Amino acid sequence: MANLQIGDRAPAFTLLDQHGEKVRLTSFKGRPVVVYFYPKADTPGCTTQSCALRDAEPDLAAIDAVVIGISPDPPSRLAAFDDKYSLGFTLLSDPEHVVAEAWGAWGEKTLYGRKYMGIVRSAFVVDAAGRLAGVFPKISPKDTVPKTAKVLAGL
């Protein structure tokens, strides 16, 4: 698992979004970006986290920040999640978890004593120059907006 630090260059990626279109991180250069990794669309924690980011959109838009959510879900499931909750931001499909691994958001988890590999809920703030300004591994859904907003306010 990658161990990204503040000041590191954000790992590049190109993934399909909820509409089946290719999205590159580099296409947001010059703007701050909140990148968050979540285990599965339309589950309680992921819904809480995503809706909190949706609700923060006016504040994020005021500073020209972009939100990108990444999960292993296929684009069709991401589209249904986006439609159901009117998220309105980019959701990307990483079924092979290549991007999650590069960002350190793929690792060992434990559920009811069973160990398995999966998405480690994480959030990152990428500054306008493409460098990490905030790194939050194992973040809780309710802490995503306050912690990323604090970093964004300091940019």
Active site residues: 46
Return the closest-CA partner of residue 2 out of 103, 109, 114, 136: 103
Containing 122, the helix (H) or strand (E) segment is strand 122-126
Q: Which residues contact 42 (CB under 8 A, 6 or more apart)?
A: 77, 80, 81, 84
